[in-house]
Amino acid sequence: MTLPAFVQGAWFAGALFFIFGLKGMSSPASARRGIIVAGYGMLTAIAGTFLIPGLQNIGLIAIALGLGSAVAWLSGARVKMTDMPQMVAIYNGMGGGAAAAIAAVEFVKGDTHDLATTALAVLGALIGAVSFTGSCIAWAKLQGVLRKAVRLPAQNALNVLLALGTVALGLATVMLAPARPELVCAFFALALILGLVVTLPIGGADMPVVISLFNAFTGLAVGFEGYVLGNPALIIAGIVVGAAGTLLTQLMAKAMNRPISNILFVPMAAAGSGAAVEGEQKEIGAMDVAALMRYADRVIIVPGYGMAVAHAQHKVWEMTELLEEAGVEVKFAIHPVAGRMPGHMNVLLAEAGVPYDKIFDLDEINGEFAQADVALVIGANDVVNPAARSDKSSPIYGMPILNADMARNVIVVKRGKGSGYSGVENALFYSDNCQMLYGDAQPMAGEIIQHLKAMG
Amino acid sequence: MTLPAFVQGAWFAGALFFIFGLKGMSSPASARRGIIVAGYGMLTAIAGTFLIPGLQNIGLIAIALGLGSAVAWLSGARVKMTDMPQMVAIYNGMGGGAAAAIAAVEFVKGDTHDLATTALAVLGALIGAVSFTGSCIAWAKLQGVLRKAVRLPAQNALNVLLALGTVALGLATVMLAPARPELVCAFFALALILGLVVTLPIGGADMPVVISLFNAFTGLAVGFEGYVLGNPALIIAGIVVGAAGTLLTQLMAKAMNRPISNILFVPMAAAGSGAAVEGEQKEIGAMDVAALMRYADRVIIVPGYGMAVAHAQHKVWEMTELLEEAGVEVKFAIHPVAGRMPGHMNVLLAEAGVPYDKIFDLDEINGEFAQADVALVIGANDVVNPAARSDKSSPIYGMPILNADMARNVIVVKRGKGSGYSGVENALFYSDNCQMLYGDAQPMAGEIIQHLKAMG
Amino acid sequence: MPLTIAVARERAPGEKRVALSPESARRFKDLGAELRIEAGAGLSSHFVDADYADVASAHSLEETYAGADVILRVSPPSPEEIAAMPVGSVLIGLLRPFELPARLDALNGRRITAFALELLPRISRAQSMDVLSSQGACAGYQSGLIAAARCAKFFPMLTTASGTVRPARVLVIGAGVAGLQAIATCRRLGAAVEAYDVRAAAREQIESLGAKFVDTGVQADGAGGYARDLSAVEKLQQAERLARAVAAADVVITTAAVPGKAAPVIVTEEMVAQMRHGALIVDLAAETGGNCALTQPGEHVDVGGVHIHGPLHLASRMPTHASDLYARNLYNFLSPWVREGQLAFDGADEILAGALLCRDGSTVHPLVKHVLGEA
Amino acid sequence: MPLTIAVARERAPGEKRVALSPESARRFKDLGAELRIEAGAGLSSHFVDADYADVASAHSLEETYAGADVILRVSPPSPEEIAAMPVGSVLIGLLRPFELPARLDALNGRRITAFALELLPRISRAQSMDVLSSQGACAGYQSGLIAAARCAKFFPMLTTASGTVRPARVLVIGAGVAGLQAIATCRRLGAAVEAYDVRAAAREQIESLGAKFVDTGVQADGAGGYARDLSAVEKLQQAERLARAVAAADVVITTAAVPGKAAPVIVTEEMVAQMRHGALIVDLAAETGGNCALTQPGEHVDVGGVHIHGPLHLASRMPTHASDLYARNLYNFLSPWVREGQLAFDGADEILAGALLCRDGSTVHPLVKHVLGEA
Amino acid sequence: MDPVLTLYIFMLAAVAGFEIIARVPVILHTPLMSGSNFIHGVVVVGAMIVLGSADSMLEKAIGFFAVALGAANAAGGYVVTERMLAMFRSKGEGK
Amino acid sequence: MDPVLTLYIFMLAAVAGFEIIARVPVILHTPLMSGSNFIHGVVVVGAMIVLGSADSMLEKAIGFFAVALGAANAAGGYVVTERMLAMFRSKGEGK
Ligand SMILES: NC(=O)c1ccc[n+]([C@@H]2O[C@H](COP(=O)([O-])OP(=O)(O)OC[C@H]3O[C@@H](n4cnc5c(N)ncnc54)[C@H](OP(=O)(O)O)[C@@H]3O)[C@@H](O)[C@H]2O)c1
Ligand SMILES: NC(=O)c1ccc[n+]([C@@H]2O[C@H](COP(=O)([O-])OP(=O)(O)OC[C@H]3O[C@@H](n4cnc5c(N)ncnc54)[C@H](OP(=O)(O)O)[C@@H]3O)[C@@H](O)[C@H]2O)c1
Ligand SMILES: NC(=O)c1ccc[n+]([C@@H]2O[C@H](COP(=O)([O-])OP(=O)(O)OC[C@H]3O[C@@H](n4cnc5c(N)ncnc54)[C@H](O)[C@@H]3O)[C@@H](O)[C@H]2O)c1
Ligand SMILES: NC(=O)c1ccc[n+]([C@@H]2O[C@H](COP(=O)([O-])OP(=O)(O)OC[C@H]3O[C@@H](n4cnc5c(N)ncnc54)[C@H](O)[C@@H]3O)[C@@H](O)[C@H]2O)c1
């Protein structure tokens, strides 16, 4: 496999581009440039491949390339923003499929390889195949084609059994070279089924983590097949994605507070999809709050007694200044009875140096929540409790409230599940557009500031 | 060169350790753990090397190892903290020498290698040799053995000529394989001289940058010789250091405001060593101010009118809180006439919420500056001007001043070279223990905060 | 005929507020009510007659009240004023229900439906009508200013060429609406503030304003967010710990109150004797007797170098904003029941029922009946 | 015999300060000086006699001054007080040098060496003796408090259940020592503060306290950090731009002064007429005639609903700290010249020379001679 | 391929992958997943090599399949990622 | 050694080196320089290999020299770096 320098060079350049592209994508400021750089890498690598001397079936290759990319491009360009995750899933599955197919061709060819190569080919095929069918299921679930989480009897045992079987067949394939067709076929079949069976019982809410996991899998599969084909660009791209994807999966699982093993082996509810999540307070991290606000146009901050208790006013104002530097419009909405004395919030905001022209009272600002991207509720509770509007039995019924619930996203900073002065539960915290940042308001604001600064 | 798995494994482990060690060293919090990890890497790699089957001269190796490391260890453990930079230089030079020596042995052996290998061997030898003699000169200068910057006539032209000559000889060596001894000897001689000649005219103040550059050089040399020896651990360690060292050199040069080319080719003054630097205001960056304070025990903040103009009080207090969280003792020293009205600083610090028990007046705190690690002067000028103590002709003579100049390090935050209310120059800004952070006090405090947070 | 709302000039000495502000007048108009105001009624609050656009002007008390359906007031009416009220009219104001049985009799004599805003239940919905809060905020703010202005020292710390001045030490006793506002005001001026209250929640509230809580170990939460009376033992313990804080203070501001009762005496004569020459006590509870044993309501006494102020009518010291807030409270109280220019009270409403003092010729509020029956 | 320093009770009406504080007494003692103080002299500053440990007590003016080498005072001495001073003694205090030629004659008649602290050169070294700064700081702080306490509105913005209160608008004219302190005090209380001064450097100083600068386009920096007189054209331009700011303000605090001259009239009758009912003027320049045309020094006048205060003796409203600072200024002025209990002035010293008013029977200060010669 | 060298490459690539992702805001999780999904679309290159040396019909068929899938992975991954990341255009660029 | 693979290794090592150093406080410049100086002390391994296969006297001499220098680089680099970094012990550990 001595290839001309320009082919090797193109692949090398591709690998470089991928690395820098991925690096770009890991920060909001350069993310968009990152994907473009990676795109150039892909073009370079593909172009170089066409230049391999003696490449056969160029027509077929071109057709396949055209067909695959056209279909994917069009579907990807049309799909609604909210349907993106399943598109990622299906494209990822295709990558896994491709990796498996490459291994399949190698087996069909029957070239003899050394042990390591065969082993990696088989491993890549296994992982690729699982990722393929698994991703398809993930897509089907998110797309709503498959509505129920199908849980087979003794699911976990079945999973383990199937996995063992597949691995055994794979081992056999490796050992009994040259490959025996029945064995290989059985191996592929089992691997594909494994992907199906493992993914079927997983609920829709957990899917993003699973997709990320399959994404890392596909990366590994690609890396392994790269070894088989002797192509370092594939190895690097695949392994970088494999490593990055693994870490990403962990980060996502952590952000959702669901250990990965839990997702794969102990599905949340036998029959439930994501319904169980409704009616829960959804937690969010400071970094996300920072990013959400940093890339918003309009933010309204609703301070309450908790801000006073935490003495968070200085931090909150610093955060505001950072947001304004980034071009975000920030306003403070003061409820008439926020805090524990008339003008409590005014005292604090004045102390922090918030200019009066950023402070609005209920009548002035209530109409603006509907246009706000984020309502950041800091240690307030009763004053944003929608029960006051509708629930006649509530002790706070009839009190005018700030319409924080009308904002696109509501973030509530509080220490825990404590209720406010009136002691009533707040339905806002459970609503779909609301997420909770748990912690004392001062350190939380500090964390948000830190992340805002990191975003430049 | 098929080596047993345990040897390869040891080297592989060594490379891994080096990478994680270097990573650790790049953050203050984990720096110490980092060098220890790297140390284990070194032990592992050396141990593995001893296990190479058929290794000859084991006795010699052991003696050389013992000798080299004993001498270096003892000298390194005894040297004064202030003499560290020249020790780094000399050890680095030894590394370069070792790399060059490896190449020399290869030439002596006369094994035929392919072109690339020979080229890298020569390149490594060249760089290693330059680094060797260059580092020795750097050591001699810093140690005070060589006191004058020796500037030869037409220095730059000579440098270029020598470099070209060395490269030409190197090329010849590569082309005319097997190596001709005269050529090789001449090549080495010229390379060693090149290192000498290039380094001799450089002033002591620029030496740290030069040492860093030679360090990167040695890294590359080691990497190249690693290729020659077919040892990926050497390659990785060498190239990682080469890349990191190059970046580091740039960072250091930037921090000193001296482009590298300037340092190498236009020495600051024909005869001067570092003397010209005295009597100048020395600039410092926010990150260093942060680190200096973060790892100090006692910090005293001296605010002045500039803090008021910049409205920096809130940021300054936030910075203080961060320092205190990190275990630093921070006090505010208020001069009786700081600002422009009686109690000006009090108004601002109260606004920022600085508790009264952290605020000290002149009589209370003047004795403490001598014990302070850092005096941070923020927008103050006249109130820390030592001329008030000694210069009878000064308009501020006789005014009591804060003894900020007695602190171990003095950092002054101000926008530029502006003088204070009285319009007199301030000798403090030129003193040895003083460094200037130029900029508006508010964003500067903000930057310090950011860096403090990054240090955790 | 639409509802007629009448507002006369306040005649009580020291009272500078007015029950109708130009803004609340505008709002009542929008509800379709007729308004009548006595000429010059707003002047002491710096509302000139011209500010009340579209409001009918009357030139005597009698002319003002004649034929009125609703009468808005700040302070309780005098017998003459009651005599001028139409029989069966509605009276809303701060009526000091626990004070003067004769006044209630006079009101009942004219079958006046009287709402005493002091009795407003403190539920969330009633906050916008809560005159005790709005006027308490004014009083608390003023008490802080009085303390600062009368103190012989700087409140803030100042480091000057002539030496460093240490911040004044202020102790606030009672951290209700007024107390918290006093804390905030003194803190704004830079004083070192300590504060004390018997309610458990007060600690956090005090600290939320950056003041230090004086922990005496006594807690006395009562019903409805108010404090209850203390037992003798509790009083002793409280007194002992407080005495130390009082002796150390340059200024003591007291705001402790128990509704329907005389103010508790917290700062005793012995405590005053321990205070330094030039120290200051501002006793906000002066209207109900004072939290300091030596307070003379409305007076300013000097007891061995310690100055004791018992200011009355604190809200009247800032009449423009006090009236503004008060008038808005009244508007918020009344407006839900005005439909198409007609008044239609819902007798079952918790707030109305809570504030209702007299109706159909008799005093109906249970607590008032209980307290007056006792006395 | 060691140097004897004597301090009598201040007898000027309204004067509550004292020239010796317990602390400065202690320091003088440490220098080896003998001290004598009139009984009760510190009481109005809340220093009781017992606070002056080791200080000899005298029971009349004559007894106090008899045989004294140095006499420390706050306000200028009356003829009787001068008569009690030993011939040839040294007098230090705020002597109002430009005011009463007869007073200077009386001093010269007794060949008294008099230092007027108003005349102290404003050089860096003299800052610790600068009584104009220390007392100006007190006056500025008090003016802010008076303004807040007398204003019919809240200073801070407050969002309450009864509606939102907008911050009061305060305009400070003259941003010297007192003006800046007034700005700081009003800002602390949450008011929206604008300020104005003719000195160019004032803009940055005003903004450093978070207030807004009113730009009139007039600049008038004079010698020694003081302002100079303005030309007629400048006055007109200033007046026009200021009028708008004055009309918009709830409170105007004026502190403008030009040393040795009557205070400039900045707020005219027409400007006052444009102010709203209930607005307030606090004129700190009242002692030298007032910055407002309608100011009555020491009085409180109501001109069509606008209240104009011309407070005198502002520093005496906070006598403890004012005396503290003043006494330390005196100590800093005198102490460099006391060695081993003896007084030894260096005639060439810039500060002494600058403050020296009378010596050896004649008035020596050039500016004073010039101004009084003129008058 | 030299297994030892390849092992080093695996190691270094993994280190690079981890290092790059180590500090990424949660808001970028999904776009980053999508972006790395695009990157492993480079499998199309491998598929092209396989198809480019395919002889039998079966090989060609599977190879064709592989290339099409790989291309779909790359193309789809790109569009989707690009669309998601368009949200992150800085304010200056206008929305 | 396979030059192509080695090229990839060079590239990845350089990327790793840059990435790791990218954000380092100035206060760490000198220790980091010293630390990386220690790391290239691994040249001693190369020197050992060379000396371990040296036959002629000259080879042995140069090899000996190389090992000694390399060992000095490694040992000296370590002590010096360790001493510098001891300053960065966190407060908790006590000074
Ligand atoms: N303004 C007045 O004049 C006045 C007077 C008396 C009563 N009130 C009443 O007070 C209430 C005011 O409403 P509000 O929304 O301001 O306050 P709130 O309803 O009392 O809610 C405060 C929230 O802050 C959270 N919190 C407390 N400490 C915190 C900390 N250190 N960090 C972060 N969060 C913290 C608490 O939740 P966690 O415990 O989970 O953290 C709590 O849910 C109203 O019901 C009003 O009627 C007002
Ligand atoms: N306290 C009083 O009562 C009073 C009254 C009148 C006069 N004074 C006099 O004022 C002086 C006070 O001394 P001081 O040390 O506080 O102040 P200073 O001597 O006036 O020095 C202030 C320094 O702050 C710097 N600065 C200004 N704006 C800044 C900004 N935005 N960010 C960062 N730096 C800024 C200036 O340098 P750059 O321009 O280079 O930034 C200047 O050197 C004394 O001479 C005192 O005698 C005091
Ligand atoms: N529901 C609402 O939204 C609402 C509205 C306004 C006020 N409030 C609450 O009502 C409570 C009282 O308000 P207020 O200011 O009208 O009360 P108040 O004027 O009756 O009493 C003032 C304060 O004095 C305290 N006190 C009583 N006896 C004391 C003693 N012996 N020692 C020390 N302190 C003593 C009380 O606890 C109270 O805090 C507060 O908790 C306030 O937050 C609630
Ligand atoms: N050398 C020192 O260290 C030192 C010490 C104290 C004060 N000072 C400086 O001296 C200056 C004056 O101090 P002061 O308070 O004693 O001055 P002051 O009492 O004489 O005057 C008060 C202010 O009024 C202003 N003013 C005069 N005419 C005016 C007009 N027509 N319109 C508007 N404003 C007018 C002046 O500019 C001054 O700022 C200040 O700059 C102060 O910083 C310096």
Average pLDDT in the A162-187 region? 83
Q: Which of E75, E85, E91 lies nearest to residue A32, judging by beta carbons?
A: E85
- pLDDT over 80 (residue B279): no
Residues with CB under 6 A from ligand 3: A 337, 340; C 122, 124, 127, 130, 132-133, 136, 173-179, 196-199, 225-227, 230, 255-259, 264, 266
Scored b (16 or more CB within 10 A) or e, D175-186 reads bbbbbbbbbbbb
- pLDDT over 60 (residue B272): no
Nearest residue of A to residue E45, measured between CA atoms: A46
Task: Please give the share of chain A, as a percent, with pLDDT higher than 90.
Answer: 38
Among all residues of C, which ones are annotated catalytic? 122, 127, 130, 133, 226
Q: Is D141 a catalytic residue?
A: no
Distance, CA of D142 to CA of D148 (rounded, Å): 10
Q: pLDDT band at D75, cuts 50/70/90?
A: very high
Give CATH for domain B286-455: 3.40.50.1220
Nearest residue of C to residue A389, measured between CA atoms: C125
Distance, CA of C83 to CA of C104 (rounded, Å): 13
Q: Is D122 a catalytic residue?
A: yes
Q: Which of A12, A19, A232 lies nearest to residue F15, judging by beta carbons?
A: A19
Q: Does C200 or A75 have the greater pLDDT score?
A: A75
Ligand nearest to the backbone CA of C198 = 3
Q: Which of B16, B232, B236 lies nearest to residue E4, judging by beta carbons?
A: B232
Ligand nearest to the backbone CA of C226 = 3
Q: Do chains E and D touch (3 or more CB pairs under 8 A)?
A: no
Distance, CA of D266 to CA of C246 (rounded, Å): 46
Q: pLDDT band at A299, cuts 50/70/90?
A: very high
**Length of chain C measured in residues:** 375
pLDDT tens, position by position, B336-367: 888 888 878 888 888 888 888 898 888 889 98
- Predicted local confidence at residue B423, as pLDDT: 82
- Structural contact between residues B217 and B131, judged by C-beta atoms closer than 8 angstroms: yes
What is the full per-residue pLDDT of chain C (375 aa) written as tens digits?
A: 789 999 999 999 999 999 999 999 999 999 989 999 999 999 999 999 999 988 999 999 999 999 999 999 999 999 999 999 999 999 999 999 988 889 999 999 999 999 999 999 988 888 899 999 999 999 999 999 999 999 999 999 888 888 888 889 999 999 999 999 999 999 999 899 999 998 888 898 899 888 999 988 777 666 666 667 777 888 888 888 899 999 999 999 999 988 778 899 999 999 999 999 999 999 999 988 899 999 999 999 999 999 999 999 999 999 999 999 999 999 999 999 998 888 888 888 989 999 999 999 999 999 888 888 755
Average pLDDT in the D194-217 region? 88
The residue contributing the CA closest to ligand 3 atom 18 is C257
- pLDDT over 60 (residue F95): no
Distance, CA of C278 to CA of D318 (rounded, Å): 10
Is A4 strand, coil or helix? coil
Q: pLDDT band at B154, cuts 50/70/90?
A: confident
Judge residue B349's burial from the number of C-beta atoms within 10 Å of its C-beta, 0-12 exposed, 13-18 middle, 19 or more buried.
buried
Q: Do chains A and F touch (3 or more CB pairs under 8 A)?
A: yes
Residues from chain A that touch C205, judged by Cβ atoms under 8 A, are: 340-341
Residues from chain F that touch A12, judged by Cβ atoms under 8 A, are: 7-8, 11
Q: pLDDT band at F92, cuts 50/70/90?
A: very low
- pLDDT over 80 (residue A146): no
pLDDT averaged over every residue in chain B: 86
Average pLDDT in the D291-320 region? 94
Measure A429 CA to nearest chain D CA, in Å.
24
- Predicted local confidence at residue A274, as pLDDT: 32
Q: pLDDT band at D270, cuts 50/70/90?
A: very high
Tell me which of A382, A399, A413 to substitute to probe ligand 1's pocket, judged by most ligand atoms within 8 Å of the beta carbon.
Answer: A382
- Rounded to the nearest angstrom, the distance between the alpha carbon of D227 and the centre of ligand 4 is 6
- Rounded to the nearest angstrom, the distance between the alpha carbon of A295 and the centre of ligand 1 is 29
Residues with CB under 6 A from ligand 1: A 304-306, 309-310, 337-342, 344, 379-383, 413-422, 440-441; C 124, 127, 133
- Rounded to the nearest angstrom, the distance between the alpha carbon of C231 and the centre of ligand 3 is 18
Ligand nearest to the backbone CA of C202 = 3
pLDDT tens, position by position, B213-271: 999 999 999 999 999 888 889 999 999 999 988 988 887 777 666 677 766 665 444 33
pLDDT tens, position by position, B104-142: 988 888 776 788 888 888 999 999 999 999 999 999 888
- Put simply, the answer to whether E9 touches F13 (Cβ < 8 Å) is no
- Predicted local confidence at residue D150, as pLDDT: 94
- Predicted local confidence at residue B81, as pLDDT: 74
H or E, element range at A165: helix A155-175
- Predicted local confidence at residue B225, as pLDDT: 92
- Predicted local confidence at residue D356, as pLDDT: 94
Residue found under tokens 């050890």: B91
Picking from A237-246, D106-115, D118-127, D366-375, which range would have the lowest pLDDT averaged per residue? Answer: D366-375
- Structural contact between residues C157 and A421, judged by C-beta atoms closer than 8 angstroms: no
- Rounded to the nearest angstrom, the distance between the alpha carbon of C225 and the centre of ligand 3 is 6
Q: pLDDT band at A269, cuts 50/70/90?
A: very low
For D19, the token pair is 């020239």
- Predicted local confidence at residue B274, as pLDDT: 32
Eight-class DSSP state of C198: S
pLDDT tens, position by position, D330-357: 999 999 999 888 888 888 898 999 999 9
Query: What are the structural domains, with CATH classification, of chain C?
Result: 4-119+319-361 (3.40.50.720), 136-317 (3.40.50.720)
pTM: 0.72
Q: Which atom of ligand 1 is nearest to the CA of A303?
A: 16
- Predicted local confidence at residue C272, as pLDDT: 95
Distance, CA of B264 to CA of B411 (rounded, Å): 30
Q: What secondary structure does DSSP assign to D167-228, as a single string?
A: PPEEEEE--SHHHHHHHHHHHHTT-EEEEE-SSTTHHHHHHHTTPEE---S---B-GGGPBP
Average pLDDT in the D237-263 region? 89
Q: What secondary structure does DSSP assign to C227-250, as a single string?
A: BPPPPHHHHHHHHHHHHHHHHH-S
- Predicted local confidence at residue E25, as pLDDT: 66
Q: Does A151 or D85 have the greater pLDDT score?
A: D85
> What are the φ and ψ backbone dihedral angles of A410, each rounded to 5 degrees?
-115, 130
Tell me the residues of A at the B interface, defined by beta carbons under 8 Å apart: 311, 314-315, 317-318, 351-353, 450, 453
- Put simply, the answer to whether A318 touches B315 (Cβ < 8 Å) is yes
- Structural contact between residues D189 and D210, judged by C-beta atoms closer than 8 angstroms: no
Average pLDDT in the D350-374 region? 88
Measure B428 CA to nearest chain C CA, in Å.
22
Task: Please give the share of chain B, as a percent, with pLDDT higher than 90.
Answer: 39
Q: pLDDT band at A256, cuts 50/70/90?
A: low
- Structural contact between residues E91 and A326, judged by C-beta atoms closer than 8 angstroms: yes
- Predicted local confidence at residue B336, as pLDDT: 84
- pLDDT over 60 (residue A262): yes
Measure B308 CA to nearest chain D CA, in Å.
5
Picking from A26-30, A414-418, D232-236, which range would have the lowest pLDDT averaged per residue? Answer: A26-30
pLDDT averaged over every residue in chain A: 85
- Structural contact between residues B145 and B83, judged by C-beta atoms closer than 8 angstroms: no
Q: pLDDT band at D198, cuts 50/70/90?
A: confident
Average pLDDT in the F48-57 region? 91
E12 interfacial to chain F (CB closer than 8 Å): yes
For A383, the token pair is 């004053």
Query: Is the minimum distance from the CB of D208 to ligand 2 under 6 angstroms?
Result: no
Q: Is D219 a catalytic residue?
A: no
ipTM over 0.95? The verdict is no
The residue contributing the CA closest to ligand 1 atom 28 is A306
Average pLDDT in the D52-78 region? 93
Average pLDDT in the B267-296 region? 64
pLDDT tens, position by position, E2-38: 888 888 888 888 888 887 777 676 667 788 888 999 9
Residues 23-52 of E with CB under 8 A from A: 23-52
Candidates A314, A347, A451: best to mutate against B (most CBs of B within 10 A) is: A314
Q: Does A46 or C233 have the greater pLDDT score?
A: A46
> What are the φ and ψ backbone dihedral angles of A316, each rounded to 5 degrees?
-60, -40
pLDDT tens, position by position, B367-426: 899 999 999 999 999 999 998 888 888 888 888 889 999 999 999 999 988 888 888 888
